[in-house]
């Protein structure tokens, strides 16, 4: 332990937790405590709801789940001798009025629970549902440890420091009256492509506003749709970032805080060492999607993925991401050509699989399709072919892919992009099926950016795949542009409507054609029923389809 009474050595443990996997979560926490104690740390910090994993959602309604969390906390406390720990976990509200739980930062020292700090600001927007489960804190106290007063906050408690605050009061306005020496924030802050900069700004504002150094710890890994990028950090009292932990991987670092100098310094580099991170938006999206795939499979106990490889750009980018996440030998590419598949698409698909060293198999759907046509001929009453026959092909492909997934224990990766999902350009129980939607929050124009990023050093995705006009190849000469505006135009309209929540007239006033705008928005709203039946979508934007965007199916607005 530190010998200078005015100094404490603080460790930040940035770990990948698994919801409800108490054995694993507690083991990780205890191992980090032992390692920090071996490095003479006085205090170690763990993330929000570390014991349960975040977000536990309706598991919080089960008494047994809460009991397991409490047992975990008291087990961890026994390891906190010669070192203190701050650990996130739910706790019971002793007051019969209000919600039965608090979202709590437990302060553990001397082998027992020494103090508890509850979360005050409970987000109830986008992907967050915390007010559904937790009672907000109304009792504000700093904690005195080794002669240093610590203001403990939990994630959102610091996020009222924006240009458009959501709350009428801030916990720090109460805590600063008690003259704390430093500020600790334990968090569960999900990734989106702008979150890194927003997070830094929020923490820097808090540090400079209150004149306190900030120690911030976040999750890494993924919990179904939500990806956690890490980026735990320490900010000095002037608002300057002293150090950031690695992004997209676990890390453990040590810092020295000097009370007399009100100064904080990096003590040791940590277990992972420095990270050379490309922070361009498209690089962050790539890294986040890889992490999302990898942890989704690991936490479900699966090793292998399967996907339909068409020769198009969406399946090509998905294949690359999956191979990076799981290893090329654990991704199985299936070519499913029909009478409408072009020779260059098949060649492009095979070339990509060979470039990646991915197992590749070709199964023609032509015979099955002919059988379906023959079987349904009388039932269709001699009506001419239309979108029905196109959808049959897509669903045949899904049947084949799901059969292989069932037989060999794979997860089928869905390859649809956000543009297609937005306007319903996909077949239910066909190309929209799967166990995980990798690109469901990635607009088509961003898919092309990902392809360019993947090919930045050498050609992995064949150039023809990137340059050819996109097509579903479900009828002769078919192009996406037959039904949709150019993707560059479509995506700009979709972004204004979905991410920025702009109405039709506001978008038209920006210079977009009125007929196209009203058509696109109508397509978005009338296809909500399809999106309710899609696989989980990895979230990389501030407004993704899924748990963060909740729309009625049978509404008439703009439909």
Active site residues: 48, 119, 155
Q: Which helix (H) or strand (E) holds 515?
A: helix 514-526
Instruction: Return the structure tokens found at 8.
Output: 């404490």
Which residue has 């570390």 as its token pair?
50
Check: CB of residue 340 under 8 Å from CB of residue 439: no
For 101, residues 6+ apart whose C-beta sits below 8 A from its C-beta are 60, 66, 90, 91, 92, 93, 133, 134, 135
Q: Which of 47, 13, 49 is nearest to 32 (CA)?
A: 13
Q: Order of strands, edge to edge, in the sheet holding 148-154?
A: 143-145, 148-154, 182-186, 214-217, 233-235, 241-244
What residues are paired with 145 via a beta bridge? 148
Instruction: Return the structure tokens found at 348.
Output: 């492009």
By three-state DSSP, how is residue 121 classified? Answer: coil
Burial category of 516 from C-beta neighbours within 10 Å (exposed 0-12, middle 13-18, buried 19 and up): middle
Instruction: Return the structure tokens found at 51.
Output: 């014991």
The neighbour count for residue 241, using CB atoms within 10 Å, is 15
Check: CB of residue 270 under 8 Å from CB of residue 251: yes
Q: Which of 152, 151, 139 is nearest to 181 (CA)?
A: 151
Burial category of 538 from C-beta neighbours within 10 Å (exposed 0-12, middle 13-18, buried 19 and up): buried
Q: What is the dihedral of CA 195, 197, 198, 200, to 10 degrees?
A: 120
Instruction: Return the structure tokens found at 265.
Output: 């310094």
Q: Which helix (H) or strand (E) holds 205?
A: helix 195-210
């Amino acid at each position: 332990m530190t010998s200078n009474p005015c100094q404490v050595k603080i460790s930040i443990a940035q770990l990948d937790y698994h919801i409800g996997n108490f054995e694993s979560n507690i083991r990780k926490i205890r191992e980090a405590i032992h390692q920090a104690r071996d490095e003479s740390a006085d205090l170690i910090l763990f993330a929000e709801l570390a014991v349960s994993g975040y977000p536990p959602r309706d598991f919080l309604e089960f008494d047994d789940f809460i009991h397991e969390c409490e047992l975990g906390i008291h087990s961890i406390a026994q390891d906190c001798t010669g070192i203190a720990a701050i650990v996130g976990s739910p706790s019971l509200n002793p007051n019969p009025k209000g919600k039965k739980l608090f979202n709590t930062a437990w302060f553990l020292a001397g082998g027992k629970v020494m103090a508890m700090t509850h979360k005050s600001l409970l987000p109830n927007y986008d992907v967050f549902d915390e007010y559904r489960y937790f009672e907000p804190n109304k009792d504000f106290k700093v904690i005195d440890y080794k002669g240093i007063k610590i203001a403990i906050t939990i994630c959102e408690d610091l996020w009222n420091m924006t240009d458009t605050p959501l709350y009428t009061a801030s916990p720090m306005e109460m805590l600063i009256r008690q003259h704390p020496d430093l500020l600790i924030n334990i968090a569960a802050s999900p990734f989106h492509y702008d979150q890194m900069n927003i997070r830094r700004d929020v923490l820097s504002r808090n540090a400079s506003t209150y004149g306190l150094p900030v120690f911030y710890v976040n999750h890494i890994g993924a919990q179904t749709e939500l990806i956690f990028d890490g980026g735990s950090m320490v900010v000095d009292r002037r608002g300057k970032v002293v150090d950031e932990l690695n992004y997209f991987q676990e890390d453990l670092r040590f810092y020295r805080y000097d009370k007399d100098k009100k100064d904080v310094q990096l003590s040791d580099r940590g277990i992972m060492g420095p990270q050379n991170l490309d922070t361009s938006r498209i690089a962050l999206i790539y890294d986040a999607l890889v992490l999302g795939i990898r942890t989704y499979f690991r936490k479900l106990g699966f090793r292998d993925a399967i996907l339909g490889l068409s020769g198009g750009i969406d399946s090509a980018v998905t294949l690359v991401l999956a191979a990076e996440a799981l290893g090329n030998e654990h991704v199985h590419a299936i070519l499913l050509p029909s009478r409408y598949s072009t020779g260059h698409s098949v060649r492009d698909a095979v070339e990509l699989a060979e470039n990646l060293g991915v197992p590749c198999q070709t199964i023609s759907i032509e015979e099955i399709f002919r059988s379906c046509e023959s079987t349904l001929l009388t039932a269709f009453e001699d009506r001419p072919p239309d979108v029905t026959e196109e959808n049959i092909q897509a669903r045949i492909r899904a049947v084949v892919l799901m059969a292989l997934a069932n037989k060999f224990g794979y997860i089928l990766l869905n390859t649809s992009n956000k543009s297609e999902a937005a306007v319903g350009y996909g077949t239910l129980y066909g190309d929209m099926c799967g166990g995980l939607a990798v690109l469901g929050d990635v607009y088509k124009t961003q898919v092309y950016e990902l392809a360019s990023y993947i090919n930045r050093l050498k050609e992995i995705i064949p150039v023809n795949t990137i340059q050819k006009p996109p097509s579903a190849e479900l009828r002769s000469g078919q192009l996406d542009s037959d039904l949709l505006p150019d993707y560059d135009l479509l995506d700009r309209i979709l972004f204004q409507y979905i991410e920025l929540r702009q109405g039709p007239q506001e978008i038209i006033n920006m210079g977009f054609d009125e007929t196209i705008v009203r058509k696109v928005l109508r397509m978005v709203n009338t296809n909500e029923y399809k999106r309710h039946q899609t696989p989980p979508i990895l979230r990389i934007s501030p407004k993704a389809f899924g748990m963060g965007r909740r729309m009625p199916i049978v509404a008439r607005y703009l439909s």
